Structure 1
Amino acid sequence: MVITSNAVRTRWQQRGPADARTATALRLMVDDWIADTLEVSGERRADILVTVCEALANCADHAYRGRETPGPMVLDVSLDVPTAMVVICVTDHGTWIEPVPGSPRGQRGRGIALMHAMADDVKIDGTADGTTVCLHFKHCRLKPEFAA
């Protein structure tokens, strides 16, 4: 895995195989980063973690379906300090599967709707060459001890 960071870690990246183990590890890293870096409410923290978990799980479940070994997934995390905006993107190089409106879903198929409900903005760029899901969260201030 690769980390790029500065002293406060307002931008960082991790990558690994698109599987459940990596998704779990990445979610824990995001949780630790929030605890170490951001001043947010418990509700906001939960919103971020649930949506990131959904994006990572979707990547692990769907991006490389039918392949023997999973390809990579990349997690990019950034905090724009002046606007207090966190952007977290999950990228894969698998195949985008277009959701089918009105299809029977049973207990699955609600992840994208959940992301839209909990994040301030969601951008999904799905192509034949891969998918990037970017989750935007407002009101995520840097902890006072890091402020200039």
Structure 2
Amino acid sequence: MVDSLFAADASHAERFERIGVPADPSHAARTRDDFTQWLQSAFALDPYRTGDLVLATYEALANTAEFAYLSVGLTGTMDVQASYDPTESTLSVTVADRGLWRTAAPAPKDRSRGRGIALMKALSDRASIQTSSDGTTVRLVWTNIHKG
């Protein structure tokens, strides 16, 4: 049952984790909301920094929900893991799927979509995307993050 994935209280933990989340828009939004609550309860972040973390993470979730399983025509799953390293004061977020990477078509000049990867890179201190036949992994890292 999917609801059990969201039942864990990770609000004061060093980690946030959701494994096997259905890769669809409603579950991506719910995971974003859970992640936001965890950030707000576990870290001393101003609203702008929180917004950056949430938006970048949500872009990775939304991309997975929209594109990862498009070619197979089914709803797959995604995993979200965030971990805090107190020694380095860094927060790392990983969003992974087992779908297929879709190379974007050339965008028209007047586009209103296709900015997710650029946002992830702009809003995080480090961003990487690794693709393989086993899926895609997005890793976002923020530095100078402090526990609340």
Q: Please, what TM-score do these two structures have when normalized by structure 1? A: 0.87
Runs of 4+ more than 6 Å apart = 2-7
Q: Please state if 1:57 is matched with 2:62.
A: yes
Q: Deviation at 1:108?
A: 1.1
SS state at 1:97 partner? coil
Q: Give yes or no for contact 1:72–1:93 (8 Å, CA) kept in 2.
A: yes
Tell me what 2:81 maps to: 76
Deviations 1:59-82 (A, max 9, x none): 001000033421110000111112
Residue 138 of structure 1: which of 130, 133, 143 is its match?
143
Say what the alpha-carbon RMSD is for the aligned residues: 2.0
Q: Deviation at 1:4?
A: 7.3
Superposed, which structure 2 residues align to 1:43-54 within 5 Å?
A: 43-54=48-59
* Structure 2 unaligned regions, length at least 5: none
Tell me what 1:103 maps to: 107
Q: Please state if 1:31 is matched with 2:67.
A: no
Residue 92 of structure 1: which of 92, 97, 121 is its match?
97
Separation of aligned partners in 2, 1:54 and 1:2: 20
* Structure 1 unaligned regions, length at least 5: 144-148
Q: Give yes or no for contact 1:90–1:133 (8 Å, CA) kept in 2.
A: yes
Q: Please, what TM-score do these two structures have when normalized by structure 2? A: 0.87
Q: Deviation at 1:129?
A: 1.6
Q: Deviation at 1:138?
A: 1.1
Separation of aligned partners in 1, 2:121 and 2:56: 9
Give, as a single letter, the amino acid of the residue that structure 1 aligns with 2:53. Answer: I
Residue 122 of structure 1: which of 127, 135, 138 is its match?
127
Give, as a single letter, the amino acid of the residue that structure 1 aligns with 2:116. Answer: G
Q: Deviation at 1:140?
A: 1.2
Q: How many residues align?
A: 142
SS state at 2:52 partner? helix
Q: Give yes or no for contact 1:71–1:93 (8 Å, CA) kept in 2.
A: yes
Q: Give yes or no for contact 1:75–1:88 (8 Å, CA) kept in 2.
A: yes
Separation of aligned partners in 2, 1:6 and 1:49: 16
Separation of aligned partners in 2, 1:130 and 1:65: 13
